[in-house]
Amino acid sequence: MPGTTPYRSRPVRCLYCENPLICAHCGKSFLLRSQAEHDSFYEPSAPVRCPHCSRIVRCRYCGATYSGSEDEYEH
């Protein structure tokens, strides 16, 4: 695909506590795998879902939920 910039997957740090962001639900590292995921992660208007368990990401260390502007809770 000419013109497509490869995106290197990399671990992300929690926006709140700056520890490596690990999903509290499944315990796996949260990775950004594309520019689109990168943009949505830093765009606070949309919930960020874990690529492993597809639940809304919650930081294992500080408990922050990346639910964007919506008050969405999962049980």
Angle at 19 between CA 50 and CA 42, to 5 degrees: 50
Task: Give SS3 for 58.
Answer: strand
Instruction: Choose which of 26, 38, 46, 65 interacts with Zn ion (CB under 5 A).
Output: 26
Identity at 21, one-letter amino acid code: L
Of the candidate spans 2-10, 37-45, 46-54, 65-73, the one that interacts with Zn ion by CB under 5 A turns out to be 46-54
Q: Which stretch binds Zn ion (CB under 5 A): 4-12, 37-45, 64-72?
A: 64-72
* Degrees to nearest 5, angle at CA 40 with 28 and 17: 55
Single-letter residue type at 29: S
Confirm or reject binding of residue 49 to Zn ion (CB under 5 A): no
Residue 53 contacts Zn ion per CB under 5 A: yes
Which residues make up the interface to Zn ion (CB under 5 A)? Answer: 14, 16-17, 23, 25-26, 50, 52-53, 59, 61-62, 64
